[in-house]
Structure 1
Amino acid sequence: MREISVDAIAADTAVPVVDVREQDEWDAGHVPHAIHIPMGEIVERLSEVPDGVAVICHSGGRSARVVQYLESQGYTAANVVGGTSAWIAAGHDVAR
């Protein structure tokens, strides 16, 4: 499984980011340029997921499972190491 750091997605906002957390987690704060598709909706919203996507959740567990699924569907995807927790800890901007 490919991995990408929070610093890499902060430095290159052209990398598409999909946040797979639940609505309340998203509302509490997210990567500003992320798209919100909760993990439970990935299958039915697959057409909204761009290829080459970085997938993020709170700490990396859910996003790793989503990356595995996306790869099985032919997507190029990467898991964001440390998730939103790492994003916040690194001091990157948070959208609400």
Structure 2
Amino acid sequence: MLLRGAIAVAISTASGTHLPVYAAEPAFATIDVQQGRALKEQGVLLLDVREPAEYEEVHAPGSTLVPLSELPSRLQELRSHLLKPVAVICRSGRRSARAAEIMARAGFTNVYNVQGGMNAWEAANLPVIKGVR
């Protein structure tokens, strides 16, 4: 698991000595859309955290929709990927970063945020499935 934000604090003991305590937040890696596509082609779960209407408009082939608003209550559905790579995508990369953070905090150890999201995916002319706009 990647770690970020290591914080060092000291705890005073009865004898007056200070013991260091280190805490760290779980983190995730950020990848570009080409790396996201490569992971998807290797069979990695591409988790789309946009809302259903956004997903229907355009999405990456083979992606799985779990809206960010539902993610905390649906993490159990994704437990089979706890130790496997998961690439998370949204429209621009903001919601997917939040989702990746939620997943990392829940114990997912190999989470990737796809920077730029579907906006960048489409701009790179990567394969998409388009629905009704």
Q: Could you state the TM-score of these two structures normalised by the residue count of structure 2?
A: 0.68
1:72 corresponds to 2:69: no
Q: Hey, what does 2:88 align to over in structure 1?
A: 55
Q: Which amino acid aligns with 2:94?
A: G
Which structure ranks higher in relative contact order (CA pairs < 8 Å, sequence separation ≥ 6)?
A: 1
Q: Hey, what does 1:4 align to over in structure 2?
A: 31
- Structure 2: tracts of 5 or more residues without a match: 1-27
Q: Could you state the TM-score of these two structures normalised by the residue count of structure 1?
A: 0.92
Q: Which amino acid aligns with 1:28?
A: E
Counterpart secondary structure, 1:84: helix
Structure 1 runs, 4 residues or longer, greater than 4 Å off: none
How many equivalent pairs are there?
96
Aligned Cα root-mean-square deviation (Å):
1.2
**Within 5 A, what are the aligned runs for 1:23-62?**
23-49=52-78, 50-51=81-82, 52-62=85-95
Q: Which has the larger radius of gyration?
A: 2
* Percent identity (aligned): 39
Q: Answer 1 or 2: which has greater helix percent.
A: 1
1:85 corresponds to 2:119: yes
Deviation for aligned residue 1:43: 1.2
In 2, the alpha carbon distance for the partners of 1:34 and 1:4 equals 16
Q: Hey, what does 2:46 align to over in structure 1?
A: 17
In 2, the alpha carbon distance for the partners of 1:44 and 1:88 equals 29
Counterpart secondary structure, 1:63: helix
Deviation for aligned residue 1:45: 1.1
In 1, the alpha carbon distance for the partners of 2:118 and 2:72 equals 22
In 2, the alpha carbon distance for the partners of 1:31 and 1:61 equals 17
